[in-house]
């Protein structure tokens, strides 16, 4: 007999966050905004420094990074390109206890389909993939919050298996 899988147990990609810490404000940051916008097709947000660090020449409130949050089809499409940039290989330590995946890309030129533009230069970025199951919102929403059982939360091993099956990811120990 055909066994039907419970749709509430399926793991899905909630969001993909692309972050690039530049460390300086001004034209360098503006170029990073243009690069991220061209890669993701979405306008990035400029992030400001939370505290002053004199050693790095960073002042509180100074814009130093750009980030963009992708959801649904855009997230999946960008993730496929980003994984291709790292050769579909990720270390086991890249997964946290909740099954989320984080990895870095040294140069945005490694992403397939990008061309070098001398006016913009080259930036690196961090990619954070948040995974969950349907129903997780119940414990996060503001009104009528409720508990979600431990068995319903995504584990590290389940997430690794999901990425191996969906994207053909190789996990290096």
Q: What is the CATH number of domain 11-172?
A: 3.30.1440.10
Q: What percent of the chain has pLDDT over 70?
A: 98
pLDDT at 136: 87
pLDDT for the residue numbered 3 = 56
3-state secondary structure 82-124: HHHHCCCEEEHHHECCCCCEEEEECCHHHCCCCCCCCCCCCCC
Is residue 127 over pLDDT 90? yes
At 66-102, the pLDDT tens digits run: 999 999 999 999 999 999 999 999 999 999 999 999 9
Task: Please state the pTM of the whole predicted model.
Answer: 0.86
Q: What residues does each domain of the chain span?
A: 11-172
């Amino acid at each position: 007999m055909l066994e039907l899988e419970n749709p509430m147990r399926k793991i899905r990609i909630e969001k993909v966050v692309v972050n690039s810490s530049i460390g300086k404000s001004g034209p360098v940051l503006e170029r990073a905004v243009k690069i991220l916008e061209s890669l993701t097709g979405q306008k990035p947000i400029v992030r400001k420094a939370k505290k002053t660090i004199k050693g790095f020449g960073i002042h509180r409130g100074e814009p130093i990074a750009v980030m963009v949050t992708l959801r649904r089809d855009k997230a999946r499409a960008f993730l496929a390109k980003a994984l291709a940039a790292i050769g579909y290989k990720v270390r086991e330590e890249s997964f946290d206890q909740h099954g989320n995946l984080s990895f870095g890309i040294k140069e945005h030129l490694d992403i397939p389909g990008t061309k070098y533009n001398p006016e913009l230069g080259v930036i690196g970025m961090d990619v954070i993939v948040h995974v969950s199951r349907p129903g997780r919102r119940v414990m996060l929403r503001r009104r009528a919050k409720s508990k979600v059982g431990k068995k319903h939360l995504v584990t590290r091993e389940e997430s690794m298996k999901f990425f191996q099956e969906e994207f053909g990811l190789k996990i290096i120990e």
